[in-house]
Amino acid sequence: MKKLFGTDGIRGEAGVFPLDAPTIEVIGYSLAGRLREKLGRLPLIVIGRDTRESGEWIEQALTAGASRAGAEVRSAEVISTPGVAFLARSLTADAGVVLSASHNPFHDNGIKIFAPSGRKLDGETERLIERDVFESPTDRPSTITMRPSEAGNEAEVLKTRYLDFLANEIGKNLSLDGLRIVVDCANGAASKTAPQLFHQLGATVTAINSKPDGRNINLDCGSLHTESLQKEVLKHRAALGIALDGDADRSLFVDANGQLANGDATLWVLAKYFRDQGRLNENTVVATVMSNIGLELALKSQGIKLVRTDVGDKYVLEELLQTGASLGGEQSGHIIFPELSLAGDGLITTLCLLRAMIVEGKPLHDLTAGFHTFPQILLNVKVKEKRPFDEVAAIRKAASHIETQLGSRGRLLLRYSGTESLARVMIEGESQDAIEAQAQELAETIREALGH
């Protein structure tokens, strides 16, 4: 059977299968029906969306399908992905649904479903929903009628509930008085919430890219494009710049010198802070295979262990829960604190970083000292087959030779793309020239063995 769900829900171009209105109605109907079968009662679903122009009609389509199956649907309207995860947990809902394509451009959208715990929907239910979609008639018409949102006051109540959680629980006893902050909202879901949160805690806030128009989400702004934020931090002499993405589940930072701190740098700062506070469980940080070896070596110098997972916050969370570790994340700025939330939350990450800066009495630039990003190169090689690399003698020999050359001060990651006929060669080391030559050599070996 074909798959609809990837590692981050269903994602694609809005209006095109499976994100056309009739299919979305089936997804809503199936989700509510499957929950009803499991629970033995009518389910409660909480829903939210980012600022894409397609979000409202997608929400109406999904709500129509879920309501037809008997579900009660409560809408927070525009709210972040972790905001929906929080509401699903705090309202004891049976599922939370986010309509967002995260950092993708406006013409894309997606459906991400959370369990009440804040974890993403289980694979078994995903497969059942996929079956329902592919077994439904292909010529089914949409039954939705576009109308103004009826959520109104309830949506504001739900958003306030989330904001109060951030300010009064995560930000408890955190005073930002006298602190100047610039926040790039990516014209996304946190365009109102983020400035309001930091202002409420006492900061002087300059918000940029906080006027969404349905089409400017992530457009040359946010966590993928930090250049304007870096300039604004210097212009306003701010202590910190915060770059969110469209659904605000990740955050990158800019220090007072205008230098960017990515997710690896954030993990470095918070790992030391958590350790000093007695909160770094298992003395371990969880990251993915894409985190720079510089993070691994820096943590090792502090006696902290780094455990790596496959790419994806889903795998980071699984490892966190399995090991009992309290801090993990991705280079992209998606950080997870399982004791606070099982969903990555750019605003929670920011509050934790601000607390570390204030408790330590140091600017971000000083806190990131000791972490050095090693040069990295990534090459993609077209292949005709995806044989295990270890089974190809020439590739195995070339990779082994490079790993010997790199020693403990470098890293080779060789893997296939999950969606394309590509082999990915990633090498990190102390010399850019050396790793480029090594990567080209290995790429040519792969091309000769698998690319003809």
Q: Which residues are annotated as catalytic? A: 102
Contact 31, 9 (CB under 8 A): no
Q: Rounded to 5 degrees, what angle do the CA atoms 322, 326, 328 make?
A: 85
Rounded CA separation 103/217 (Å)? 8
- Going by C-alpha positions, the residue among 245, 272, 273, 254 that lies closest to residue 334 is 245
Spatial separation of the C-alpha atoms in residues 193 and 180, rounded to whole Å = 17
| The pairing of beta strand 251-254 with beta strand 240-244 | antiparallel
Instruction: Please choose, from the candidates 283, 263, 251, 76, the residue with its C-alpha nearest in 3D space to the C-alpha of residue 181.
Output: 251
Which amino acid, residue 405? Q
Q: What distance, in Å, lies between the first and last C-alpha atoms of the chain? A: 30
Residue 173, phi-psi category: left (phi > 0), alpha (psi -120 to 50), beta (remainder) = left
Residue type for position 324: G
Radius of gyration over alpha carbons of the chain, in Å?
23
The total of other beta-carbon atoms located within 10 Å of residue 302's CB is 13
